[in-house]
Amino acid sequence: MPREYLKKATKSARTDAADVSQTVSAMLSDIEQGGEDAARRYATQLDGYDGPIVLSADAIAEACARVPQGLRDDITFARDNVRSFAEMQKQSVQDTHTEVVPGLIAGQKAIPCNAAGCYIPGGRYSHVASVIMTVTTAKVAGVRHITACSPPRPDVGLPPAIIFAAHLCGADSILAMGGVQGIAAMTFGLFGLPRADILAGPGNQYVAEAKRILYGRVGIDMVAGPTDSLILADATADPHIVATDLVSQAEHGYNSPVWLVTDNRALAQDVARRVPALIATLPALNRENAEAAWRDYAEIILCDDREDMAACSDAYAPEHLTVQAADLDWWLDRLTCYGSLFLGEETTVSYGDKATGTNHVLPTSGAAKYTGGLSVHKYMKVVTWQRATRAGSKSVAAATARISRVEGMEGHARSADVRLAKYFPDEHFDLAAQT
């Protein structure tokens, strides 16, 4: 039978996208032309902040001193886990080479970007974990200059925990500026910063759109939409934990989709009953976000069996994918499209969001069909090189000349011809197009 939607979303991630794009385009153009003055104007208007933009060493030290030791320990714990995982990732990209033909060596080399801009959300919540995920990973990659950028609180500035985390993780500059203006400042090299080679980090729809528009002029970790999460659950799942996990992700924002995919109607109905009550117990801001997300974007989908569940999940390609079902190894082998996978009741997306070591900057809006999340690899360029002896260039030059002439690219052919003529003056080569 076809999949049955016990709950269907009324809105999508692209709702209101056109209006956002127009606004962001105008802001970026204004800041590019107006420079720091324009960026400061937007900061005052949108952030309600007119204090120092780039934090001094003294300001950083003073803020760090205000962070309680217990919180320092938790941030350090999470940083250490993220750093350890990133170091493992880095080992998977090795400088290497091979002798393609005798005398011709081709290789690859991984080179870190020179400057990275790490955006740290700070509107509704203070995303300390995003500092850890973006800055630590850039540091392990070997980026020379890392800017941590986050929106300040009106008339207050950045939360001390954000500053401490940025400093601990290795940020070279800390920028008290949020939104589009913060993205623009890092991209255009305002306030004495180097122009960013790559921008990374989550943000609201305006930040995401700014990164999308600027992509090409600057690298980005990925084109992102609102965060999304999907849970695969069967009859063995605990409905209270499933419902709690759905609510935990819905609190991200009013447009954060959460999806439950199951082959058990009783479980689906039980979870649907539990979610509103769990949302009602949240603090006011969290409750408002979760209520809107559940009302407008959430879905509950009833499938025939686990194969149909897996196919449904792959079609959605969720940012976060949780499996609370029997035979976890089967799911690990079967599932193909997700940003990060959480297997079993004993783990949860919240763990990955904060402290397990895997990165929480992940592909959204179905992008997990073709890309993974933030890693050291995103901050590095894998480039190629080659070197040849004269003998090694012989066969390659002849093939290059003939292929080039088939293509009609005579200039390319002649760059091979001259080498054959110089290196092997006494030999004759058939360099005509082979048609």
Write out the catalytic residue numbers. 319-320
**Residues facing residue 150 across a β-bridge:** 176
Q: DSSP letters of 285-315?
A: HHHHHHHHHHHHT-EEEE-SSHHHHHHHHHH
Q: For the beta carbon of residue 26, count every other beta carbon within 10 angstroms.
A: 11
- Classify burial at 233, counting beta carbons within 10 Å of its beta carbon; exposed 0-12, middle 13-18, buried 19 or more: buried
Alpha-carbon dihedral angle through residues 149, 154, 155, 156, given to the nearest 10 degrees? -60
Q: Which residue has the tokens 């950083």?
A: 60
Distances (CA, A) of 251 to 24, 125, 225, 238, 322: 25, 10, 15, 21, 17
Whole-number Å distance between alpha carbons of 103 and 80: 45
Asked whether the beta carbons of 243 and 288 are under 8 A apart, the reply is: no
Q: DSSP letters of 95-109?
A: -EEEEEETTEEEEEE
Asked whether the beta carbons of 375 and 83 are under 8 A apart, the reply is: no
Read off φ and ψ for residue 114, nearest 5 degrees: -80, -35
Structure tokens at 136: 């630590």
CA 143 and chain centroid, separation: 16
